[in-house]
Amino acid sequence: MRISYTFGADARGTQGKGASRRLRHSGKVPAILYGAHKDAQALVLDQQNLLTMIDDERFYSSIVRLKIGEQSQEAIVKDVQMHPAKRLVVHIDLQRVVESEKIRIRLPIHFKGESVAPGVKTQGGVISHMRADVEISCLPKDLPEFLQLDMSEMSLNDTKFLSDIPVPAGVVIPELTRRNAPVVSIHAPRAEEPEPVAAEAAAVPVEGAVPAAAGAPGAAPGAPGAAPAAGAAPAGAAAPAGDAKKGDDKKAAAPAKKEGGKK
């Protein structure tokens, strides 16, 4: 049986939220040990000691030995609860290990040959990892440290599945009885978004610019199709005399309005 870590633990007499809060304030971590057909046991672990171990993947994928007083107990880490804002362990769940009983534990997947895979090296593909670990079942003596998947022969658009992961003798992947999920693939990189064309940029109005008349884009004032200036008489109408009365102006403008209505 491979033992990766050994650390001390104390039995915990008082339980409850208040007691757990006091433990954390004193630099301790509440824990629970269960399994192996025995009653669950409340424990107290050291916070600083745990912080030196939780960043190592072996802490979650191997067997640890607990020294509880004068006794020793092998176990696996089932769950670690962290504080949402601080680097502090809030609670740990541990499961007892018995040599004659199979255990279920998650192991990390190590990917080999990523940089030399033809799909990446010569075909310009991008790797997508769908799984970083997988749950296995085995006896404690058969527990490997990790599983390894070889990608050195993968080409563009290739995918590796759970069934492609080699496992040692005595180790099985229970999920394969339900489905053969994808683990990693190599695919073509996504196309980048096209930049705005020059025509779109030119269509943005410039502050202070005089817009062209409808129907004649870019036409200069006075050019054919340009809008008449304010107060100017329509084409074909005589300009009113300087001393003409307002009533005469309205009469002179009336024919133009009528002709406009016929169009």
3-state secondary structure (DSSP) of residue 255 = helix
Same domain, 110 and 66: no
Same domain, 83 and 122: no
Same domain, 115 and 76: no
The conformation of residue 164, written as its DSSP 8-state character, comes to G
219-250: pLDDT as tens digits? 444 444 444 544 444 445 444 444 544 445 44
Q: Tokens 């006896």 correspond to what residue?
A: 139
To the question of pTM greater than 0.75 for the whole model, the response is: no
The token duo for 258 is: 């009528």
In a domain, 212, yes or no: no
Q: Which of 163, 187, 211 is the C-terminal boundary of a domain?
A: 187
Q: Which domain holds residue 87?
A: 3-98
The token duo for 251 is: 């009469």
Q: Which of 172, 187, 202 is the C-terminal boundary of a domain?
A: 187
118-169: pLDDT as tens digits? 999 999 999 999 999 999 999 999 999 999 999 999 999 999 999 999 999 9
Count of domains for the chain: 2
| Distance of alpha carbon 102 from alpha carbon 142, whole angstroms | 9
- Is beta strand 89-96 parallel, antiparallel or unpaired with respect to 28-35? parallel
The conformation of residue 119, written as its DSSP 8-state character, comes to H
